[in-house]
Amino acid sequence: MSIPIILAIFVGDKRLCNILGPRKDNLYIFNDIPMFWFTKKKSPARLFYHTDLHSHIIPGIDDGSQDVATSIDLLRHMQSWGITHAIATPHVTAGTFENSLDTIDAPYRLLCDEARRHDIDIEISYSAEYRMDENFRKMLDSGGTEFIPLPHNYLLVENSFMQPPIDLDNLLFTLQLKGYKPILAHPERYSYYFHNKDIYKHLHSNGGMFQVNLLSFTGHYGKPQKELAWWLARNGMVDFVGTDLHHAEHTRVIGEWLAGKEYQRFEKELQNIKNDTLI
C-alpha cells in the first residue's frame, strides 16, 4: 500500500527531484511512499509465564539442536521471551534416539557451561520426552526407575504420529500407579484424533494432562492443529504449554507471533496453565 505525501521543502540538490512528484505552489508531492516507511516494527511480547518444559536444546542427541552454537541461539531467544527456567526434553525413541542419563548428561553440562560463558540467564535442567513404544514398555515393566521425570514426578510422554498406542489408557493408568503424573505432549498434533474430540475429554478426565505446543497456537503446523489447540484452550484442557524448540525457524515463528495481536488472546485464555509450578 502507498500514499501520496505533500511536503513543503526547499530543494537545493536537483537529485532530489528524482524522488519528488510534480511541483505545485511551492509544494512537492511525494508519490508512492510505502506505508512501512512510517510503521514502527513492534517488539515481541514477553510470555506471561517463565518456565518451559519441552524443548530440544541439548546439542547433538536428537533431531533438535545439532551444535552448541545453535543451542545458545535458541536460549537467547527464550530469554528474550521472558523464560527463566528451561527444562530440556530430548527424545527417547526406540531405534532412533535411545537416550538415557548416560547420553544426556555430558552434552547437558557442556551446554550449561557455554550458557554461563555467554551470559545466558536461564536455569537449565533436563528430563526427557518418551515415545510410548516397545522400549518405553520395557522400562515401565521393569518398574519405571529408568525414567527421568520432570519436577514433582510429572513425565512427558508422546504418541507415535502414525497411530495411537492400542493400550494408551492402560499405559497412562500404570504410570499413575507407579507414582508418575503423565503429561501427553502436543495432543493437538495427532491427526487421528481430529475427528474424535471425545478422546481428549476421555484422556483428560482419566488423569492424563495435556501439554500443547506454543507453535500450534501460531498455526505453524497447519490450520487443523491451530484450531484444535484453541479448542483445547477453550475447554480448559491445556495444562502446560511448551515451545518444543528444535531450530531457528521455530524461534522466528514464535517471535513474530508474540509481536502480533493473537498473543493477547493467548495470554487471556491460558492464565491457568501450570508451567511455573515446576520451578
What pLDDT, on the 0 to 100 scale, is given for residue 45? 82
Residue 240 has φ and ψ, to the nearest 5°, of -140, 155
H-only helix segments in the chain: 68-80, 101-117, 134-141, 168-177, 198-205, 214-218, 223-234, 248-258, 262-269
Closest CA to 28 of 36, 20, 38, 40: 20
Domains and CATH numbers, the chain: 2-38 (no CATH), 51-278 (3.20.20.140)
What pLDDT, on the 0 to 100 scale, is given for residue 202? 97
| Cα 22 → chain centroid | 52
DSSP 155: E
What pLDDT, on the 0 to 100 scale, is given for residue 12? 44
Run of H or E residues at 124? strand 123-126
What pLDDT, on the 0 to 100 scale, is given for residue 13? 45
What pLDDT, on the 0 to 100 scale, is given for residue 260? 94
* Low pLDDT (below 70) residues in the chain: 1-44
Closest CA to 61 of 5, 101, 30: 101
